[in-house]
Structure 1
Amino acid sequence: MHMLYLVAGARPNFMKIAPIVRALQAHGGLGFKIIHTGQHYDREMNDVFFEELGIPAPDVFMGAGGGSHAQQTAKIMVAFEELCQAEMPDAVLVVGDVNSTLACSIVAKKLHIPVAHVEAGLRSGDMSMPEEINRLVTDSIADWFFVTEPSGIEHLRREGKPDSAIHHVGHVMVDNLLYQAEKLTRMETDFETDAFKRRHARYGVLTLHRPSNVDEPETMTRIAAALKEIAAELPLIFPVHPRTRANLEKFGIDLGPDITLVAPQGYMPFLNLWKDAVVVLTDSGGLQEETTALGVPCLTIRENTERPITIEEGTNTLVGTDPARIVTEARKVLAGQGKQGRRPQLWDGRAAERIVAILADALAAGNR
């Protein structure tokens, strides 16, 4: 039986590989191991976390840990090379655009192990984003490209990839979202944010973590002014990334009484919070897609996005960091004039099944 290594380095990566694991279990024709590089150590990622996802805990935990981009990438490469040399897998599957994606792709290719990239072809055009560099390098050497939206196909073709290697399969993050949202409908919740939801019939959800937004005092101050203006009309709840919280204090920014700051949330508590929001304001990549999948209006506080389908077809609006634009677009949503949007083609919860079928056929045919 062919052996597939599934690489994940951070909590969002596990959301992406979970549907693939479930599809592999249902298929039964490929062996697999879940490899946790340990890029982000997260104490919340315990047995309950993997039970929630409906997958087993990782087979291997490499414990790479933090450090600079170079240190982290190097530690992952050294550990992953040892692992691959001990048991040469038939293929390595990487997801997304984190340092683990880049590191494990390079190691595999130098050992002549083919690489499958899930979420291939996304491009922001912003080379100041570490994720953009990771995406470009991974796609420059991968063998199979599993694409979430048409823009990915166009980028890969422009970069010289053959059509035979490009597969528009839909979105595993949406597979997982629909799986978890359905599970939420069957459970009695006891989340710390439930009290906030009971107090507020209408509310918005905020997330901010990108260095370009939270590390510059001028930008952060501008964004905060817009958020306070919106919060006067719609209470906001803000799960705060530790780095963002530290910068709010360092820059002396007070978000006022109408923005409730809470600790970072686990996947299910956070889903339970934002799925019922009037609007989500964010600089996250994944949340742009998830809000589109569930039809929740999203305002993206960035100058660019690598997920244009969320704007072209979905519920997402790119608002930049200009306070007047942020407030204007938020008021449109509050007045019921926000984008309606629709769920894009193939975002139907079956992307992982398509990926597994393609890989199984390719490996069976010796198409490495």
Structure 2
Amino acid sequence: MREWADFSTEEAEGRTTVKVEGPLLVSTIGHLDPGLRALDQPVHFIDISNASPIDTVGAWVIYRFATDQNADITGASEQAEILIDAVERSASSADIEPPRLPIVPRVLETTGGKVFEFAGGMLNNLSFMGAILVAMAATIRHPGRLRVRALVRQMELVGVTSLPIIGLMSFLIGIVIAQQGAVQLQQFGAETLTVNLVGRITLRELGVLMTAIMVAGRSGSAFAAQIGTMKLTEEIDAMRTIGVSPVEALVLPRIFASILMMPLLGFYSACIGIIGGAVIGDVMLGIPFLTFLARIQEVVPLHDLYVGLAKAPVFGLIIAISGCYQGMQVKGNAEEVGLRTTKAVVEAIFMVIVLDAFFAVFFTEIGWG
């Protein structure tokens, strides 16, 4: 048997016949297809009596060539006739690519679609926030409906299990701030102000901000993935069927856990960051470790701590709501879980940074700058 499909042409009585020989399989027609396309003479018959075996791809190549040349197919075996008939029934004259609108209508159409999508997203957000408020009101009226075990479990996942990674990150950030600050301040002979720099920036800003970013990437994504998977497997629909509110059972414990744990994690992060700065102060600046810590109490105003602790619950609320909302929006397929999880993390981090900027302006205006 031939290894490759090939063809030859014959002319008789002014008519051209293309004789195809060899297996018409997807693995053997690599040379046949471009050769048939390159023929520049009219063809009247296509003889495939010596072409076997044949598969759907081979049948499609022969059928397409016969259609382009307006030629008759002869010598087809029973299998070949069945396959050619099948590809003929499935043939379509539609364009491979739909026509594209001009650039201006296309931009307007896309913009309009984004506007409607944004409006729909706003309505869904309002609906979700309303469901949360209703669930909170029901929990306040009937405290026994609060799922304490679920709350404690989420507090463990959001807070306790994240202590190592947040501690390591904060320690390294404290080292970087102290080292870079000391290098710059030494040019002015004010390297002792490194204590002020490390203390104020960690307690007021970076401690809670970096913690919020870590929690968004760690717990916010987990919220979206967990709830999204439950939505995809119809577990949430099953909860509604048996009379259990998904918001009360799944959303509220995660929101309360994030609100409660964020201030603790933020304070923990700031303390570890100060310790990292104290290590660098001891090594690079000759400031004893305990002296560095004692100096923090003198140079850092107490309201810096209040500023950081005030922002933390708001950040926790934003992270939890974003993760739970995106999880509830999952539908269709497993790919949607990944897309919604990514969206939850991006939205949470974006909102945290925006809110941090507003907080900075607000506290400066009230004299806590």
Asked if Structure 1 and Structure 2 have the same fold, meaning a TM-score greater than 0.5 normalized by the shorter chain, the answer is no
TM class, shorter-length = under 0.3
Q: TM-score, normalised by structure 1?
A: 0.19
Which structure has more helix as a fraction of its residues?
2
Q: TM-score, normalised by structure 2?
A: 0.19
Which structure has more strand as a fraction of its residues?
1
